[in-house]
Amino acid sequence: MFEHVVIGQYLPGRSYLHKMDARSKLASVFLLIIIVFMTNTWAGYGLLWAGAVLVYLLSGVSFRYIRKGMFPIFLLIIFTFILHALFTQEGDVLVSVGVFTLYEGGVEQGLFIAFRLLLLVFFTSLLTLTTSPIDLTDALEQIFTPLKRFGVPAHEIALMMSIAIRFIPTLLQETEKIIKAQSARGADFSKGTWKERSQAFVALLVPLFVRAFKRAEDLAFAMEARGYNGGEGRTKLRKLTWTLRDSAACAAVVIFGICLFFFRS
C-alpha cells in the first residue's frame, strides 16, 4: 500500500532558483509570506501575481507539479470562497436564490482571500520543489546554530531529521511484515467488532514498537562504535555557499516588498 508514494517533493534541476543557496531561499520565502499578508489592494495583488509569474519562469518547474501541490489546498480555497460569498453582506445584490443571496462585496472578498491563499501556497511549494530536503536541513542547522547558547541542539536536530527520514521506509517495511505475520496468526485488521479490531490494533502496535526500539538501539551502538561524539569539529562533504545570485535575489524581494508597501490602502 506504500509503494507508490514518492518520498519528497524535490525536483532536481539547474535553474536560477535551483542554484540559489537554501538559506537565501528560506529568507526570501518568509519575506514573501509577510508581503502577501501585507497586501490589501487589487493593484498590489496584480503586482504580486506578476512577481509570482517571474519567479515561476526562473524556477524552470513544470506547471504540472505546481498544480499537483496546489490540489489539497484547493478545497480550502473553494470552501473559504463559498463562506465569504454567502456570509459577507456588502455592496449590491448579484443573485438571489431562495434563502441565499449573493452580494458583490462577498464575491470580491472571497476572490481576495482565494488569491491570497493561492499565492501563499505557490511561494511555499516552489521552495520545496526546488530545494532538496538535505539542503534545507543543512540550512536549518546553520540558521539555528546561533541559538546554541540558549540550549538549542542545532546540529543534533539536523542529524535526527536525517535519521528520521532514513527510518521511514524501514519502519513501513516492518509494519507490513507485522501485519502479514499477525494476519497469518488470525488477526483481522479490516473487519470484526470494535473489540476484535482493537485487539488487532494492539497486536500491531506492540511488536512494531519492540522491533523499532531494537533497530534504534542497533543504530546507536553502531554510532558509538564509530566514535560519534556530537557536532564539535565535524566537517561536511557538501557546503552551502552564498553567492552574488543570493544577495541579488534577497535584495530584489526586499525592494519588491517596499514597492508593494506603497500600494496598501
Partner 1 sequence: MKLKPLDMVLVALFAALMGIGANITAYLVIGGVPITLQPIIAMLAGSLLGSRLGALAMVVYMLTGLVGIPVFAEFSGGLRALVSPTFGFILSFILTAYLTGKIIEHKQNPTLPTFFIASFIGLAVNYLIGTHYMYYAYLWIAEAPEGFTYSMVWAWMIFPLIKDIIFTALAAAAAPKLYRLICRNSTYTQQRTA
**Cβ-Cβ contacts under 8 Å for 11 (sequence gap 6 or more):** 61, 65, 129, 130
Burial of 21 (0-12, 13-18, 19+ CB in 10 A): buried
**Cβ-Cβ contacts under 8 Å for 252 (sequence gap 6 or more):** none
- Out of 10, 16, 56, 263, the only residue in the binding site for partner 1 (CB under 8 A) is 10
Compute the least distance from the CB of residue 125 to partner 1, in Å: 5
User: Cα separation of 19 and 130, whole Å?
Assistant: 9
In the chain, % helix, strand, coil (3-state, to 5) comes to 70, 5, 25
User: Which residues in the 20-39 window bind partner 1 by CB under 8 A?
Assistant: 29, 33
- What is the size of the binding site for partner 1 (CB under 8 A)? 73
User: Cα separation of 23 and 131, whole Å?
Assistant: 10
User: Cα separation of 138 and 131, whole Å?
Assistant: 11
Binding-site string for partner 1 from residue 84 to residue 123, where x marks contact by CB under 8 A and - marks none: x-xxx-----------------x--x---x--xx--xx--
Compute the least distance from the CB of residue 153 to partner 1, in Å: 5
Looking at beta carbons only, is 18 or 116 nearer to partner 1? 116
- Out of 181, 209, 248, 264, the only residue in the binding site for partner 1 (CB under 8 A) is 209
- Out of 57, 93, 168, 255, the only residue in the binding site for partner 1 (CB under 8 A) is 168
- Using the contact rule CB under 8 A, the part of the chain among 12-20, 42-50, 93-101, 218-226 near partner 1 is 218-226
User: Cα separation of 237 and 61, whole Å?
Assistant: 27
- Out of 111, 212, 240, 254, the only residue in the binding site for partner 1 (CB under 8 A) is 212
Binding-site string for partner 1 from residue 143 to residue 162, where x marks contact by CB under 8 A and - marks none: --------xxx--xx-xxxx
- Using the contact rule CB under 8 A, the part of the chain among 4-12, 45-53, 56-64, 232-240 near partner 1 is 4-12
C-alpha cell at 85: 460569498
Q: Does 7 bind partner 1 (CB under 8 A)?
A: yes
Looking at beta carbons only, is 8 or 91 nearer to partner 1? 8
User: Which amino acid, residue 131?
Assistant: T
DSSP string, 45-98: HHHHHHHHHHHHHHHT--HHHHHHHHHHHHHHHHHHHHHHHHH---S-EEEEET
- Out of 47, 83, 107, 252, the only residue in the binding site for partner 1 (CB under 8 A) is 83
